[in-house]
Amino acid sequence: MKYLIFLTLILVLTGISACKNDDAASLNNIEDLYAQPLPVIQKCVLGKWKWIAYSTYGYIGLWYPSNTFINITNDSVVVTGGDGLNRTFSYSWDKRETLAKLANYTTYVMWNNEQNTGEWFFDKIRNDSLFVLCYKVNPDGYNDSYLFLRIK
C-alpha cells in the first residue's frame, strides 16, 4: 500500500512539473506578444536581459551594444553597461495605438513615468529572445527596434 501511495505521488508531481514546463515553453514562443493580455506580456518581459542588438529604421542598420544589461521589475527598468545606455525609469502600462509603418496596432506600452512618454512595446518572444520596439517613431515613421536575450 505504501508503494502505491508513493507511486501515485510521484506520478502527480511529474504531471504538475510537465504542465509547468509546457507553460514556460509556451510563454517563450509568442509571435504576437503585442496582441496578448497584459498579464501575459508582463510575465514574458519581467526579469534580467542582455541587450544584444539595436536597429534604427525598423530592422536595418544593426548596432551591437557591449555588455549592456536590462533588469525589468514590476515597476522599474534599470539599464546598465557600456555604450552610454545607462538609465533608470519607473513605468506603468498604457494601452495605445502605435503609429508606425512596421508596427501599426494597439498594444500595451511600457510608459516612462518620469518623462511621461511611451518607452517600449513588445513585438514577440522567441525562445529566450525578446523583440522590442521603441514607442517613439523616427522622422520616417519607423520604430527603432531592440533585441534582448534572457539571462538565466
Say which CATH number the domain at 86 has: 2.40.128
Nearest to 73 by CA among 51, 88, 85, 86: 88
CB 33 within 8 A of CB 123: yes
Q: Tell me if 58 is assigned to some domain.
A: yes
The torsion angles phi and psi of 98, rounded to 5 degrees, stand at -85, 145
CA–CA distance, 129 with 134 (Å, rounded to integer): 16
**What's the structural domain count of the chain?**
1
Contact 83, 70 (CB under 8 A): no
Residue 120 has a pLDDT of: 95
- Over its length of 152 residues, how does the chain's per-residue pLDDT go in tens digits? 443 333 333 333 333 333 334 455 577 899 999 999 999 999 999 999 999 999 986 556 788 888 999 999 999 999 998 777 789 999 999 999 987 877 789 999 999 999 999 999 999 999 999 999 999 988 888 889 999 999 97
**What is the pTM for the complete model shown?**
0.79
In a domain, 132, yes or no: yes
| Amino acid identity, position 86 | N
Within-domain flag for 21: no
Look at residue 10 and tell me if it is in a domain.
no
Cell representation of residue 68: 549592456
Within a domain: 41: yes
* Residue 26 forms part of a structural domain: no
